[in-house]
Amino acid sequence: MSTDSSEVAPGTGGAGDGHRSGFACLVGRPNAGKSTLTNALVGEKVAITSSRPQTTRHTVRGIVHRPDAQLVLVDTPGLHRPRTLLGQRLNDLVLGTLAEVDVIAFCLPADERTGPGDRWIAAQLAQVRRTPVVAVVTKTDKVDRGRLAERLLEVTALGEEEGHRPFADVVPVSATGDFQVDAVTRVLSSHLPPGPPLYPDGELTDEPEAVMVGELVREAALEGVRDELPHSLAVVVDEMTPRLGEDGQPTGLLKVHVLLYVERDSQKGIVIGRGGARLKEVGTTARQNIEALLGTRVHLDLRVKVAKDWQRDPRQLARLGF
């Protein structure tokens, strides 16, 4: 791993003498690389990545353990200008989270230019006054050194624009190229308050298992589908119980029932596929990942249902846990 200190933008330095602990939140436009970075930092798959924007619905925490610091990552949905009630709810959730964390990592892809979406987020972050904001320039493997240098300056300038807040640090990283991942941990940790670890060593997430199971199903169901499904797919884990044998004893198999809600019949068709072929694939992929996550054999039952216009209906949203 390349974590040469000369590659780190100047910042507030190391964690100091004592141990530090606290919470960090990753924000950025959809597709900015937040989930991938969370996974790289934690070193295990906990958040959901997908090549489709706005797939992260739940606040998933990953925990980075280091000898001198414990960094609890709160991965949020993409902060974006709300178009639907769901979008508004997500933004409220994000802003509420931001006010409570110790440091915010604002992810900006190296291979894109600063756009209106970034300016909108920068303006939102300026409202969260007390929390330091570290700009993390992601996906550096996608650009050459010259472009990266330009981009770092461009990002620094974004913090200095009227109505924004200067960034506490600017750090380049490639989560997939394993470049500077440690540097991101170090810089974020340097902004945490002194304190003992908040979670026992070895713990990677405090997200309830059912939420993570739901996310794995959601991820599998979205894979390779290129239409508007990310906005129209909700996942509810209905049941997770040990399967009992004929003698009433546990068989070592976990029974998992999951409901996939789509908005329209046409979307139901997309998820299920011809003759149910796609849903079968989704089930196999999701089951393997759930088994890896929980360390137990799983019997997975997926049902697809249509919940018309659920994104705009507060009662439906509440029922689905938003």
Ligand X SMILES: Nc1nc2c(ncn2[C@@H]2O[C@H](COP(=O)(O)OP(=O)(O)OP(=O)(O)O)[C@@H](O)[C@H]2O)c(=O)[nH]1
Binding site residue list for GTP? 28-35, 75-79, 138-141
Of 78 and 283, CB closest to ligand X: 78
Residue 28 CB, nearest distance to ligand X (Å)?
6
- Is 222 one of the binding residues for ligand X (CB under 6 A)? no
Q: Please enumerate in sequence order all residues whose Cβ is within 8 A of that of 203, keeping only pairs 6 or more positions apart, or say none.
A: 63
Of 142 and 255, CB closest to ligand X: 142
Residue 175 CB, nearest distance to ligand X (Å)?
4
Q: What type of residue sits at position 153?
A: L
Residue 164 CB, nearest distance to ligand X (Å)?
20
Q: What type of residue sits at position 267?
A: Q
Pairing of strands 234-244, 69-75: unpaired
Residue 11 CB, nearest distance to ligand X (Å)?
20
- Is 56 one of the binding residues for ligand X (CB under 6 A)? yes
- Is 172 one of the binding residues for ligand X (CB under 6 A)? no
The only residue of 31, 180, 190, 311 in contact with ligand X, by rule CB under 6 A: 31
**Half-sphere CA count of 141, side-chain side, radius 13 A:** 10
Residues 245-274 that bind ligand X (CB under 6 A): none
The Cα diameter of the chain in Å comes to 71
- Is 189 one of the binding residues for ligand X (CB under 6 A)? no
- Is 174 one of the binding residues for ligand X (CB under 6 A)? yes
- Is 61 one of the binding residues for ligand X (CB under 6 A)? no
The only residue of 11, 78, 132, 172 in contact with ligand X, by rule CB under 6 A: 78
Nearest to 109 by CA among 22, 161, 220, 34: 34
The only residue of 21, 36, 180, 232 in contact with ligand X, by rule CB under 6 A: 36
The only residue of 15, 20, 23, 35 in contact with ligand X, by rule CB under 6 A: 35
Choose the stretch contacting ligand X; rule: CB under 6 A; options: 51-59, 116-124, 292-300, 303-311: 51-59
Residue 138 CB, nearest distance to ligand X (Å)?
6
Residues 116-145 that bind ligand X (CB under 6 A): 138-139, 141-142
Residue 195 CB, nearest distance to ligand X (Å)?
28
- Is 34 one of the binding residues for ligand X (CB under 6 A)? yes
Residue with token string 């900006």: 108
Choose the stretch contacting ligand X; rule: CB under 6 A; options: 152-160, 169-177, 296-304, 313-321: 169-177
Question: For binding to ligand X (CB under 6 A), which residues are involved?
Answer: 28, 30-36, 49-51, 53-56, 78, 138-139, 141-142, 174-177
